[in-house]
Structure 1
Amino acid sequence: MDFNDQLRRYFGTDDLDAVAPGAMEAGIERMKVDLGMETDPGRRFALWALMHMLGEAPDLDVAFKDPQERDAARNFMDLLDKAPGALS
């Protein structure tokens, strides 16, 4: 799942600065619902990753039942913390 595709799907644009506060809240709510319904591990991870960057991701033990998926999410968070100009 492409990052910009996710932004357009949930916020109607790939420019987060152009998203109105109400649209941001609505998009995040749709993301939460989709995360709860998604069964494909890769799509689920991509959705969780965007939610994490927006500060809205559920805890790892809630989002990922598989220990390897939790480890991958921790690695993602570590990499993001080291990346200059990251969203989170």
Structure 2
Amino acid sequence: MDFDDQLHRYFGSADLDAVPPAAIAAGVERMRVDFGLEKDRGRRFALWSLLFLLGAAPDLDAFDDPADRDAARDFMDMMDKDR
């Protein structure tokens, strides 16, 4: 799942600065629903990662597989180091 494709799918633009706040909120809600319905682990992780970057990711216990929770923790640590 390509990052720009996700942005276009949920927000209609790859430039989030150009997206109105109400559209951001609606896109985040759609992403959260899709995250809950998605069965593919890679796609779920991609959705979770973008939600994390937007400050809207579900808790790590949303991942059933411990390896996915570990990967999410690693992602969070990596993003924290860049700040």
Aligned to 1:66: 65
> Which residues of structure 2 form unaligned runs of 5+?
none
**Mapping for residues 1-16 of structure 1, pairs under 5 Å:** 1-16=1-16
CA distance in 1, matches of 2:44, 2:78: 19
> Which TM-score applies when normalising by structure 2?
0.96
- Tell me the matched-pair count: 83
CA distance in 2, matches of 1:56, 1:68: 21
Give the counterpart letter for 2:32 in structure 1.
K
**Does residue 78 of the first structure (1) align with residue 70 of the second (2)?**
no
Shift of 1:83: 1.9
Name structure 1 gaps, 5 residues minimum: none
When the two chains are superposed, the root-mean-square deviation of aligned CA atoms in Å is: 0.8
Q: Distance in 1 between matches of 2:72 and 2:32?
A: 17
| SS state at 2:30 partner | helix
Higher RCO by CA contacts (8 Å cutoff, separation 6 or greater): 1
Percentage identity across aligned positions?
67
